[in-house]
Amino acid sequence: MNPRLPPALLLPIALALLLAGCAAPPPPPKPTGLAEVMERPAERALLDGIRAYDDGQYAQAEPLLRKALADGLQSQRDRATAHKLLAFITCTSNRLADCQQQFRDARAADASFALSRSEAGHPVWGPVYKSLTP
């Protein structure tokens, strides 16, 4: 027993310590389902932008990808993907300053961002990307 603490305080302190030790950890976060993700405007715009890009509809893809970014994509990787596709679109339309900025923004969004070997070897955007690679 600590002679400095009054005995009347020992019981409340012991009880508080006991209760603190019994506290359960918070439950793990619920996994997010695709239906929930599709309810978010930014993620829906990203998916629509990717589809348009994959279909070669670059004039439709660009505003959708920009909307996804403006609406606040939650995932770093999603933001990097949107910037990457915008870089591809702007490079192929000879807007090289915007292309460079999109690659910079992709790296800023996700520090692990990198083009695949085939993407980096593309004759249009590959040299722009390589010029920005440290």
Give the tens place of pLDDT for each residue, 116-130.
999 999 999 999 999
Query: For residue 58, is pLDDT > 90?
Result: yes
Q: Residue 96 carries which side chain, given as an amino acid letter?
A: L
Give me the pLDDT at residue 105, please. Answer: 98
Query: For residue 76, is pLDDT > 60?
Result: yes
Give the tens place of pLDDT for each residue, 102-115.
999 999 999 999 99
Residue 22 CA: distances (Å) to CA of 15, 25, 28 = 11, 9, 18
Q: Are 115 and 96 in contact (CB under 8 A)?
A: no
Give pTM, 2 decimals: 0.76
Give me the pLDDT at residue 79, please. Answer: 98
Instruction: Using the Cα atoms of residue 117, residue 122, residue 123 and residue 126 in order, give the sign of their dihedral.
Output: negative
Mean pLDDT of the chain: 87
User: What's the rounded mean pLDDT across residues 34-54?
Assistant: 91
| Separation of alpha carbons 2 and 4, rounded Å | 5
Give me the pLDDT at residue 35, please. Answer: 78
